[in-house]
Amino acid sequence: MKKTANTPISRRLVLGAAMVAAGLTISACGGGGATSSGSGSGGNVELNFVFWGDANRAKMTEAALRIFEKKNPGITVKTEYQDSAPYADKLATRFAGGNPPDVLAMANRSLLEYAQRGTLADLKSFPELNLDKVPETTLSRGEVDGKLYGLATGVTTIGMVVNKTITDQAGVTIPDDKTWSWEDYAKFATEVTQKTGGKVYGAGYDVATETGPIMLARQRGEDFYTKDNKLGVSEKTIEDWFQYSVDLRKAGGYPPAGFFEQIGGSPAQSYLAKGTVASQIIPINNFRGYNEAVEGEVVLLRIPGETSGERRGYSADPTMLWSIAAKSKHPKEAAKLVDFLTNDAEGAAEVLTQRGVPINPEVADSITPKLSADDKTFVDLMAAIQEEDLPPAYVYPKGASVVADTLKQLTTEVEFGRISPADAAKTFMEKSNAAINK
């Protein structure tokens, strides 16, 4: 009996501790057998390339990789992809096991978790990777202490999508998004709910995603994450972010507590596609997906408050980042692949704006004629935003994933009225600072 009590415990530990055991053995023999492929003349190098996303993204990526393989005889690329959450878990175990992929997609919030533990290569150290065309502001989003650990796959930002078919039917005019304030948005959303008889809620943005408060903080002249990798947002801003959703819910513009059940999910699974909400905040590179998933016409708008605040909240953010593992056995070939993904127009023609607007402006221009109308809407908005005077944005600090989780948890607490927005903001500051300063 005692024995049965013990075994399952160690089972729990298998994942954790097996990684350790496996990691020690694997890293002990690292550089041994597995490197054989690169040595022979004309020998074939196989790169392992991982990213998150859906089948559509994978298909487009594969098409580009075939071009890469054709241009670089002797290198084959083996890909793996998953949804973002399982991807993050698997990536961690692979690094821990001493068996990281060669080239990988990295989330903004995880970059420093990896980089500051010495697991990523400095991309500037590879002559194979040409960074001449990449703007400095884009490079800075993957840089720590002068070393480049992540290179943007493309740039994007967030925007408001509104189901215009619904608002037209309800007879509600969409305010001018160039100048609308957060109050305008609240009024608009509340009106939609009223005029549809409560069948459709005007607002359906996700309170728990950090990009929202990041934007609000920037509009108020605060950097959510500062240049020296700290938390820069004020407690008041976080409180107001929570309070705004509470007030909007009370007014009827935002759905009642417990309404949102889906965690993450594709455009097709969104509440906008279901037609139960009329507007939502999305990463705008996904605009096409939403317009295709939603019955009726979807319009892409700017986030409210851009002209009513102290400064612009917008920034051109890396959609995700390409990184090369420090332990990659084929760093040169890996750098060639990242160079291809960044600078090759033919490759970009296959992927288009799947991972944001290409960071090499020449490449971005070259694919413009090939874009569908919806993708063009995204690219045009991105370009228009970038023409404005945008404040600088910085790398997410180590601990940013804990900040994201904390925000999620507190959002629910506030949603069900278990704590006040003020208390939630206070807790947010404490927990986030603790995680970042650790």
Q: Does 82 bind other proteins (CB under 8 A)?
A: no
> Which residue type occupies 367?
I
Stretch that binds other proteins, among 257-265, 289-297, 344-352, 369-377 (CB under 8 A): 257-265
Q: How far is the CB of 404 from other proteins (least distance, A)?
A: 10
Q: What's the closest the beta carbon of residue 238 comes to other proteins, in angstroms?
A: 16
CB under 8 A: which stretch of 14-22, 170-178, 238-246, 354-362 binds other proteins?
14-22
* 28 binds other proteins per the rule CB under 8 A: no
Min dist. Cβ of residue 99 to other proteins (A)? 12
Residue closer to other proteins, measured from CB, 268 or 416: 416
Q: Is 266 in the site for other proteins (CB under 8 A)?
A: no
* DSSP notation for 210-250: THHHHHHHHHTT--SB-TTSSB---HHHHHHHHHHHHHHHH
Q: Which of 283, 242, 270 is nearest to 108 (CA)?
A: 283
- CA nearest 303: which of 292, 293, 291, 317? 317
Using the rule CB under 8 A, is 81 a contact of other proteins? no
Using the minimum distance from each CB to other proteins, give the nearer residue, 3 or 70: 3
Least distance (Å) from other proteins to the CB of residue 237? Answer: 21
| Per CB under 8 A, 14 contacts other proteins | yes
Shortest Cβ 105–other proteins spacing (Å): 17
Determine the size of the site formed for other proteins (CB under 8 A): 52
Binding mask 107-126 for other proteins (x = CB under 8 A): ------xx--xxx-------
Choices 74-82, 90-98, 153-161, 288-296; region in contact with other proteins by CB under 8 A: 90-98
Binding of other proteins at residue 40 (CB under 8 A)? no
CB 156 within 8 A of CB 319: yes
How many other CB atoms are there within 10 angstroms of residue 71's CB atom? 13
Q: Is 429 in the site for other proteins (CB under 8 A)?
A: no
Q: 256-261, long-range: CB within 8 Å, 24+ apart, which pairs?
A: 257/415, 257/416, 257/417, 258/415, 258/416, 259/201, 260/204, 260/206
In single-letter form, the type of residue at position 278 comes to A
Please identify, among the stretches 55-63, 229-237, 254-262, 348-356, the one whose residues bind other proteins according to the rule CB under 8 A: 254-262
Any residues with CB less than 8 A from the CB of 51 and at least 6 apart, and which? 57, 61, 79, 81, 87, 104, 105, 320
Work out how close the CB of 8 gets to other proteins at its nearest, in angstroms, rounded to a whole number.
4
For residue 278, CA distances in Å to 158, 203, 243, 297 come to 17, 6, 21, 11
Interacting span for other proteins (CB under 8 A) from 1-9, 28-36, 144-152, 163-171 = 1-9
Indicate if the alpha-carbon torsion angle 231, 235, 236, 239 is positive or negative.
positive
Q: Which is nearer to other proteins, 4 or 39 (CB)?
A: 4
Pick between residue 92 and residue 345 the one whose CB is nearest to other proteins.
92
Q: Report the residue from 40, 405, 425, 432 that binds other proteins according to the rule CB under 8 A.
A: 405
Nearer to other proteins, 27 or 44 (CB): 27
Cβ 342 to other proteins, closest distance in Å?
A: 26
Candidate list 60, 96, 251, 429; residue touching other proteins; CB under 8 A: 96
- In the complex, least distance from residue 413 CB atom to other proteins, rounded to whole angstroms: 5
Q: Which of 54, 137, 195, 260: binder of other proteins (CB under 8 A)?
A: 260
The single residue among 89, 176, 297, 362 that binds other proteins, judged by CB under 8 A, is 89
Q: What is the rounded CA–CA span in Å between residue 278 and residue 161?
A: 8
CA distance 233 to 397: 13
Quick check: 370 binds other proteins (CB under 8 A)? no
Q: Is the Cβ–Cβ distance between 293 and 359 less than 8 Å?
A: no
How far is the CA of 126 from the CAs of 76, 150, 336, in angstroms?
20, 13, 9
Distance between CA 107 and CA 320 in Å, rounded?
5
β-strands 45-52, 75-82 pairing: parallel
* Residue among 79, 93, 130, 420 that touches other proteins (CB under 8 A): 93
Strands 317-318 and 155-156: antiparallel
- Residue 212 near residue 240 (C-beta atoms within 8 A): no
Q: Which residue lies nearer to other proteins by CB, 10 or 36?
A: 10
Asked if 172 and 279 count as a contact pair (C-beta separation under 8 A), the reply is: no
The closest of 148, 85, 139 to 120, measured between CA atoms, is 148
* Residue 133 within binding range of other proteins, rule CB under 8 A: no
Interface with other proteins by CB under 8 A: which residues? 1-21, 23, 85, 88-89, 92-93, 95-96, 113-114, 117-119, 257-261, 263-264, 401-402, 405, 408-410, 412-413, 415-416, 418
